Amino acid sequence: MTSISRRLFIKTSEACVQSVNTLKNLFGMLLILRRLHSRKISLVAMLALVICLTLVSVRSFGQTIMTSAPQLLTDPFLQLPTETSVQVVWFTEFAGVNHTVTYGENLKLTAKANTTKLSRTREDQQSRVGNQTKDGEVYQKPVQRNIWRHEAEVGGLTPGVRLNYRVTSVREDSETINSDVFTLAASPKPDTPLKILLTSDHQLKPMTAANLQKVVETVGRVDGVWFAGDLVNISDRASEWFDDNSGGALFPGLQGRATYEMTDNDIKTTYTGGQIIQHAPMFTCIGNHEVMGRFARMGSLNDEFDDTIPRVATQKIYQDKSLIDNSFNTNTYEEIFSLPKSKEGGKRYYAVSFGDVRLVVLFATNMWRTPSLDKKRRGRYQEAEKDLNNPENWGYGQLIYEPIAKGSKQYNWLEAELNSPEFKQAKYKVVMFHHPPHTLGDNIVPAYTEPVQIIERDGNNIKAVRYEYPKDADYIIRDVVPLLEVANVQLVFYGHSHLWNRFVSPSGMHFLETSNVGNTYGAAWGDRKREVPIGYQEDYVKVGDPNGLEPIVPTIAPFLGEDGKPMPYISSNNITVFSIFDTGAGTISSYRFDTRKPDSEVVKFDEFQLKYSNPI
């Protein structure tokens, strides 16, 4: 088969897969065959038609899953760079027999990949994948989706030298599938000027693809991505990572393969995201949406995500059964990414040197529960009335997943890291985690502390189960931030509240939340007040930052409020924001783009400089 015939064969097969459900598209296929016949390659086209017409529905757990044309599930992306190597990772829906990376001049060098299968990726009623666009059209319950991960170490690299690379996967039927050609590099040396994308909270939100597309159009190729958590909504739902049919899954957005359509005034614009992580390594932290709850106990993945309980409660209720399966887990997140590891926390919290920066990544997030005081629902402040006598169904408030209070294993690790030579000698010292220490958003309330459970009884009967969150026991403000101040950290970067705002402490430590990427839930400023409980012992702030800092007004082009005064935040479902850390200049610049105006300019609206830290 000639190369032209092969390409036509593949394209015709793909077109066939997309056409098989409607007669109109089938006629379209016949027209394609006629054209192909006129070009004297009808045998190739007829072979594609045979494949198309013999596509079968595969029954799995009573569900119907359509097969698809051979393809890679993702482009390759870069992970875990060192001074001489980098990991190349990609995914397929077949195990295959051979997976390799070719790289270097004329792609003459080869690295063989190791293959593993993701253990918990599934689809369910709320998946938007394949033919399913509404609840339960294809999947009526969670169903395993088989996905394989391939990882190859490309070694022998020289810092500062960028090489071409391409990945190849060979299926069991000997079909060979190649990616496009991208570039890779070793970890940069100190004094190398870098542009690093600061982002978070993508979650398949409406503006994410536009946001990432404008990153590439504005600053070109970035050298790294720091992602402050909440990559997707439901971590075990495979399509949210790979191919959600809304066009906004995580990997397509970060690889320039998204197809997210936005409409304003009847004008439709399709945003593709940006080709970013094929060329730049990404360092991530765990947000609340990377955590799954009790495994396979509920009827949907959404319910499973909501079904987390503390490990202490698990030991009491389930005794010798699996803590991972019966409390909470980050299995899928950890299986997808290759990240630096700490001895104490593994991939969950770690530190890494990248150019002039020492990046410290913490596991600081808790379970988000509704602030509603509706007694029919379990929430952050109480349990549902119907479950008062059934502790197995309690939510246990906004439980913290990884202890970080003074004396905890993570705190002790952080203290040691802040005193390490690698940290002290770094020009820039940055700490990233998910939960905000300072914000105008709603998610900072209540305090970041273990819920104090209060059980009210009438004799032997439970009348109510509620939770308090003492403000003076906020672990981030009480324990972590003072540690960072003493260590001369210049920047604390986080997400969670889906807006842009920033703060500066009296000592000069910067706090940046740049999570108005996909959509927003509002800012507690002016007439808008955050929802806080009534009748509880703590009096939480309804407007402003509950932890006492004043938000900084953007330095270049702030928005004006109705009173004509500059606003210290961006909270919008139309205007998206991204931020770039330029390590050469020591600046962090934030940009905004109005998705309602596809032809409008990207506007730099804020910039600040990190104070140079003399290596010790």
Going from N- to C-terminal start, the domains of the chain cover 3-55, 77-184, 195-291+330-365+400-609
DSSP per-residue codes, 559-616: PB-TTSPBPS-B--SSEEEEEEEETTTTEEEEEEEETT-TTSPPEEEEEEEPPP----
Residue type, 511: F
CB 551 within 8 A of CB 440: yes
Q: Are 576 and 568 in contact (CB under 8 A)?
A: no
pLDDT given for residue 615 in this prediction: 57
Q: What is the pLDDT of residue 538?
A: 86
Instruction: Tell me how far apart the alpha carbons of residues 485 and 483 are, in angstroms, rounded to a whole number.
Output: 5
pLDDT of residue 540: 86
Q: So what's the pLDDT on residue 57? A: 34
What integer pLDDT is reported at residue 14 of this predicted model? 37
Same fold, 77-184 and 195-291+330-365+400-609: no
At 400, phi and psi to the nearest 5? Answer: -90, 130
Of the candidate CATH numbers 3.10.620.30, 3.40.1280.10, 3.40.50.10190, 3.60.21.10, the domain formed by 195-291+330-365+400-609 belongs to: 3.60.21.10
pLDDT value at residue 534: 80
pLDDT digits (tens, 9 = 90+) for 316-337: 999 888 999 999 999 999 999 9
Find all residues with CB under 8 Å of 31, minimum gap 6, and list them: none
First-to-last CA distance in the chain? 64
The span from the CA of 433 to the CA of 445, in Å, is 17
**Integer Cα distance of 52 and 178 in angstroms:** 22
Pick from 496, 544, 543: nearest CA to 520: 496
| pLDDT in the model for residue 70 | 63
Residue 401's alpha-carbon distances to 309, 392, 397, in angstroms, are 9, 18, 12
Q: What is the pLDDT of residue 86?
A: 98
**Position 136, amino acid:** G
Cα separation, 311 vs 324, whole angstroms:
9
What pLDDT does residue 614 have? Answer: 63
- Residues in the chain predicted with pLDDT less than 70, given as ranges, are 1-70, 613-616
Which CATH number applies to 77-184? Answer: 2.60.40.10
**For residues 43 and 120, is the Cβ–Cβ distance under 8 A?**
no
